[in-house]
């Protein structure tokens, strides 16, 4: 009773009236474009983003420039404990700030999103969940392994491998799992993979079951090892795979041989420096990304209007005297057209002059002028 009496009523009301909603947003497995449309909108408008350790920097770059971006390992005044994270979310929301709690994969799949939501409810802070693409599905998909297939598996089971050796209360029931038909997906099982495989085999799964380990799924440095269940741990280690990794056990792994689309991209793993202007880099970066490359945009060119237009104006004033105009870039096309308009002319003043362009993008820029109002 004393505690209630000690807390001035006005303060309680202020907290509650000011409180903002916390959005628990799934970031997907790594590839930034796997973020949902809703997740992106929230990320772009949040005041504070509290993110897990493995979140891709390209996602964090989508935040508002003035947003506070907090790694959960570096909560101000706190530490890595779940209670510190919960308290930080609660106190930030109570300051009236829009918080996005950005979590790898899906927040409610082995992501402690349930615990955070529970703490918010207990504190009277409203929240929403924006599901993400879980690595349990995405990592196999990027390795060319469908979890179900009419001829191979009609179900899949997702389990944690983190408690495999300890027999703790939440440890998966490996005996039952060994006998469960369908595909088995194991998250957090990398470290214990030899033990897990041994338990499955001891309980009836064939040692010859096709198995895969997908490390850093959906990232340009993704690696996948495949083999029999009884040797997959050694194979993956000998190939240098690392955490985070998702393990897939089941006949569907055979399909990778034909469906391995991602690791076959011609530029996968290559970093390509894009030096075009900031406005023009996007399209090239997108094409490079589609081929598997990681574009790194460092514009070395900045296109600006000239300080002095007199030379261009002189040439444009007598443009009909020229036989040819050769445009060497789309920027030149736009600059000349803008100047024609600014000086009270339009493309009709180029009548009779032959026009040449260098490169298809420059030609496209000329063609697009035809659709502009004259
Ligand atoms: C704490 S769990 C979080 C799972 C996450 N909430 C999800 O839905 O993907 C972390 C585990 O997810 C898996 N994982 C996360 N990112 C991965 C990736 N890019 N590739 C493969 N596995 C990944 C690994 O098994 C890792 O140990």
User: pLDDT tens-digit profile of 224-276?
Assistant: 999 999 999 999 999 999 999 999 999 999 999 999 999 999 999 899 998 88
pLDDT of residue 17: 72
What's the average model confidence in pLDDT over 75-99? 88
- Confidence label for 334 from pLDDT (cuts 50, 70 and 90): confident
| pLDDT at res. 8 | 42
The yes-or-no answer on residue 74 being catalytic is yes
- Ligand 1 midpoint to CA 105 (Å): 7
Q: How confident is the model at residue 341 (pLDDT cuts 50, 70, 90)?
A: confident
Nearest CA to ligand 1 atom 2: 110
Query: What are the strands, taking DSSP E only, across 142-292?
Result: 156-160, 183-187, 210-215, 223-228, 245-249, 271-274
* 223 belongs to the catalytic site: no
Whether the pLDDT of residue 345 is over 70: the answer is yes
pLDDT averaged over the chain?
89
Most confident of 14-23, 119-128, 343-352: 119-128
Min mean pLDDT across 76-90, 113-127, 224-238 is at 76-90
Distance in angstroms (rounded) separating the CA atoms of residues 75 and 88: 7
From the candidates 21, 74, 166, 179, which is the catalytic residue? 74
Token output for 168: 């703790």
Ligand 1 pocket mutation, candidates 103, 184, 187, criterion most atoms within 8 A of CB: 187
Q: Count CB atoms within 10 A of the CB of residue 14.
A: 13
Q: What is the CB neighbour count within 10 angstroms for residue 129?
A: 19
Residues in the chain, how many? 374
Query: Ligand 1 centroid to 94 CA: how many Å?
Result: 31
Quick one: three-class SS letters along the chain?
Answer: CHHHHHCCHHHHHHHHHHCCCEEEEECECCCHHHCCHHHHHHHHHCCEEEECCCCCHHHHCCCCCCCEEEEHHHCCCCCCCHHHHHHHHHHHHHCCCCEEEEECECCCCCCCHHHHHHHHHHCCCCEEEECCCCHHHHHHHHCCCCCCECCCECCEEEEECCCCCCCCCCCCCHHHHHHCCCEEEEECCCCCHHHHHHHHHHCCCCCCCEEEEEECCCCCCCEEEEEECCCHHHHHHHCCCCCCEEEEECHHHHHHHHHCCCCCCCCCCCEEEECCCHHHHHHHHHHHHHCCCEEEECCCCCCCCCCCCHHHHHHHHCHHHCCEEEECCHHHHHHHHHHHHHCCCCHHHHCCCEEEECCHHHHHHHHHHHCCCC
**Residues with Cβ within 6 A of ligand 1?**
29-30, 103-106, 109-111, 134-136, 139, 187-188, 214, 216-218, 243-246
Give the bridge partners for 225, in sequence order: 213
Pocket test for ligand 1, best of 31, 110, 164 (most atoms within 8 A of CB): 110
- Mark residue 119 as left, alpha or beta (left: phi above 0; alpha: psi -120 to 50; beta: remaining): alpha
Res. 3: pLDDT tops 70? no
Total-model pTM: 0.80
Quick check: helix, strand or coil at residue 229?
coil
Percent over 70 (pLDDT), the chain: 91
Alpha carbon of 334 to ligand 1 centroid (Å) = 48
Note the pLDDT of residue 167.
Answer: 42
Q: What share of the chain in percent tops pLDDT 90?
A: 63
- Whether pLDDT at 330 is above 90: no
Among 227, 219, 250, 236, CA closest to 154: 250
Index of the ligand 1 atom closest to the CA of residue 136: 9
Q: Cα-Cα-Cα-Cα dihedral of 277, 280, 283, 287, to 10°?
A: -40
User: What pLDDT digit, counting tens, does each position of 11-30 carry?
Assistant: 444 456 789 999 999 999 99
Residue nearest to atom 12 of ligand 1 (CA): 187
Separation of 245 CA from ligand 1 center, angstroms? Answer: 7
Tell which one of 29, 35, 54, 212 to mutate to probe ligand 1, the residue whose CB is within 8 A of the most ligand atoms. 29
pLDDT band at 320 (very low <50, low <70, confident <90, very high): confident
The larger pLDDT score, comparing residue 256 to residue 320, is at 256
Question: How far is the CA of 21 from the CAs of 1, 26, 47, 67, 221, in angstroms?
Answer: 29, 16, 11, 16, 36
Distance from residue 190's CA to the centre of ligand 1 (Å): 11
Residue 54 has a pLDDT of: 83
What pLDDT, in 10s, does the model give residues 32-61?
999 999 999 999 999 999 999 889 888 999
Token pair listed for 220: 């340009």
Model confidence at 367, pLDDT cuts 50, 70, 90, reads: confident
Question: Quick one: pLDDT band at residue 4, thresholds 50, 70, 90?
Answer: very low
Nearest Cα residue to atom 16 of ligand 1:
29
Q: What's the mean pLDDT in 271-290?
A: 85
Q: Ligand 1 centroid to 39 CA: how many Å?
A: 18
Atom of ligand 1 nearest to the CA of 161: 25
pLDDT at position 163: 63
Lowest mean pLDDT among 197-211, 253-267, 272-286: 272-286
Three-state DSSP class for residue 234? helix
Whole-angstrom Cα distance, residue 42 to residue 56?
16
Q: Provide the pLDDT for residue 374.
A: 43
- Given 188, 199, 223, 230, which residue is catalytic? 188
């Amino acid at each position: 009773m004393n505690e209630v009496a000690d807390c001035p009523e006005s303060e309680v009301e202020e907290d509650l009236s000011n409180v903002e909603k916390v959005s628990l947003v799934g970031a997907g497995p790594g590839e930034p474009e796997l973020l949902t449309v809703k997740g992106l909108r929230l990320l772009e408008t949040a005041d504070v983003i509290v993110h897990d350790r493995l979140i891709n920097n390209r996602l964090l770059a989508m935040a508002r420039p003035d947003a506070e971006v907090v790694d959960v390992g570096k909560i101000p005044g706190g530490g890595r404990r779940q209670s510190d994270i919960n308290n930080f979310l609660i106190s930030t929301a109570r300051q009236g700030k829009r918080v996005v709690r950005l979590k790898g994969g899906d927040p409610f799949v082995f992501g402690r999103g349930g615990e955070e939501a529970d703490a918010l409810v207990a504190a009277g802070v409203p929240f929403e969940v924006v599901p993400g693409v879980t690595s349990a599905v995405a990592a196999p998909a990027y390795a060319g392994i469908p979890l179900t297939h009419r001829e191979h598996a009609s179900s899949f089971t997702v389990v944690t491998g983190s408690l495999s050796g300890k027999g703790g209360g939440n440890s998966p029931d490996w005996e039952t799992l060994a006998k469960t038909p369908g595909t088995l997906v194991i998250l957090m099982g990398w470290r214990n993979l030899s033990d897990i495989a041994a338990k499955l085999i001891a309980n009836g799964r064939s040692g010859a079951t096709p198995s895969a380990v997908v490390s850093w799924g959906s990232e340009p440095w993704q690696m996948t090892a495949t083999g029999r269940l009884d040797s997959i741990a050694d194979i993956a280690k000998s190939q240098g795979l690392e955490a985070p990794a998702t393990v897939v056990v089941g006949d569907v792994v055979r399909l990778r041989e034909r469906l391995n689309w991602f690791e076959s991209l011609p530029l996968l793993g290559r970093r390509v420096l894009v030096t075009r202007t900031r406005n023009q880099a996007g399209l090239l970066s997108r094409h490079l990304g589609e081929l598997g490359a990681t574009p790194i945009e460092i514009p070395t060119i900045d296109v600006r209007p000239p300080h002095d237009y007199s030379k261009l104006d002189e040439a444009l004033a007598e443009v009909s005297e020229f036989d040819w105009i050769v445009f060497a870039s789309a920027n030149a096309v736009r600059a000349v057209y803008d100047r024609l308009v600014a000086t009270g002319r339009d493309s009709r003043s180029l009548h009779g002059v032959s026009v040449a362009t260098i490169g298809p993008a420059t030609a496209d820029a000329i063609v697009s002028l035809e659709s502009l109002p004259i």
